[in-house]
Amino acid sequence: MKFTRVFAFMALAGLAGSAFATNGYFSHGYGMKAKGKAGVSTAVTGDTFGGANNPATMAYAGNQLELGVDLFSPIREYSRTGSAGGAGYFDGDVESDSNYFLVPEFGYNHMVNNDLALGVTVYGNGGMNTDYPSGQTDLGMCAGGAPSGQAGNMLCGMGSLGVDLVQLIVAPTAAYKIAPNHSIGISPLIGYQRFKAEGLQAFSALSLDPANLSNNGYDDSFGFGVRVGYYGKVAPTVSIGAAYASKMNFDSFDEYSGLFAQQGSFDIPENYNFGVAWQATPQLMLGVDYQRINYSGVNSVSNTSQPPACMPVPPYGPAMGDQCLGGSNGIGFGWSDVNVYKFGAEYKYNQNWLLRAGYSHNDNPISSSDVTFNSIAPAVITDHVTLGFTYTVASGDELTMSYMHGFKNDVTGPVNMYFPVGGTDKIQMYQNALGVAYSWKM
């Protein structure tokens, strides 16, 4: 059956590599139509990505199947100046070698009757994907001795430096019209995530479990949550929407129980969104969304990276105290909660062409005091612009494309005190994405 084959392909492709890092490690939008409007979707109907945006909108999506893929390019750079009291022994400037990722998406919706819709959305998060080559430091000097001639990475570890996080979420969805212009929806969220870290050996003295800190290959885990939503057309030209997604609780990463807080725990935070759409003219629709992502609810992401009460035992551990890496309240990335503001427009040029544009702004989750630890996950983008279109072919099927540019942003701060080389660290990133999707009307 066509649906089964496509779903299997999407699941396998999703596991192969999701790399979004726009609003923290959430995407700027889900579904190619929403991406063309900077993610505006909460009060808009017409696609099958309610499981990622607002489940209630699926009650008005009709019978369709959507398949798409984004070519996503995040350009990450990490640099240090003024180390070793100005001597520069640990200075460097390096770009991540991983710059291009294919990010698939899939949605299906079936109208059981005029009021009830059943469907599924498959989408991805991620973006903590970095691969910095080695060669900026000398491991002998990193250990406080004479130069050894053995190259180290920017954090004085061996080999390349970076992490790879992939999150795939499958969201079966049910939506029901409680009145002709009002609906509610629910999407159980079934999550899979995969992670690896490399080149962090220098932090072994801060880990409660140094054997499970770095260079252990990929580990994976599964988790669950739920998203609920409401959609309503409150006036002939105005619709509103709201959705809430619970925290997704995942199994721990056993191979990285010495890196993430709570012995390898890494969950997806709760988030919610509100939206308003206004059909300003028969041709022009304007929309606004607000999204809140509560990273503070995930200790491994939000706990400070600054020295708490972690007591490394010289020379290489084991560390002591639950605030060390891997501890119940262990060192994290220091991310704060994020507010996202999205503005989008859709213009019906003629019967075949819909044109889109959008802009979004979000808080930067990373402060200057947490730059060093976030060198492996520099999610500092705050502003995006988007363009897109949908072309309706003779059969009624739709071809949709979108483009996103995330403007370059950087954060600069003192080198973390746990890494006593001194100086100033800077992380920066900019992004581009070009996506295409096709929708079969059924």
pLDDT band at 108 (very low <50, low <70, confident <90, very high): very high
Instruction: Evaluate if residue 13 carries a pLDDT over 90.
Output: no
Q: What is the mean pLDDT of residues 4-25?
A: 54
Q: What is the mean pLDDT of residues 139-153?
A: 92
- Domain 2-76+99-130+161-414+432-441: CATH class, spelled out: mainly beta
Helix, strand and coil in the chain, % to nearest 5: 15, 45, 40
Instruction: Evaluate if residue 169 carries a pLDDT over 90.
Output: yes
Q: What CA–CA distance (Å, rounded) separates 47 from 62?
A: 9
Instruction: Evaluate if residue 9 carries a pLDDT over 70.
Output: no
What sections of 17-61 are H helices per DSSP? Answer: 32-35
Instruction: Evaluate if residue 202 carries a pLDDT over 60.
Output: yes
Instruction: Evaluate if residue 11 carries a pLDDT over 80.
Output: no
In whole angstroms, what separates CA 239 from the centre of its chain?
A: 28
- What are phi and psi for residue 55, nearest 5 degrees? -55, -30
357-408 confidence digits (pLDDT tens)? 999 999 999 999 999 999 998 999 999 999 999 999 999 999 999 999 999 9
259-283 confidence digits (pLDDT tens)? 999 999 999 999 999 999 999 999 9
332-341 confidence digits (pLDDT tens)? 999 999 999 9
Tokens for 345, please give them: 């427009």
pLDDT at residue number 347: 98
413-422 confidence digits (pLDDT tens)? 999 988 889 9
Which residues have a Cβ under 8 Å from the Cβ of 28 and sit 6 or more positions away? Answer: 20, 22, 35, 38, 39, 342, 360, 384, 386, 404, 406
The residues spanned by each domain of the chain are 2-76+99-130+161-414+432-441
Task: Give me Rg for the CA atoms of the chain.
Answer: 23
Q: What CA–CA distance (Å, rounded) separates 408 from 432?
A: 10
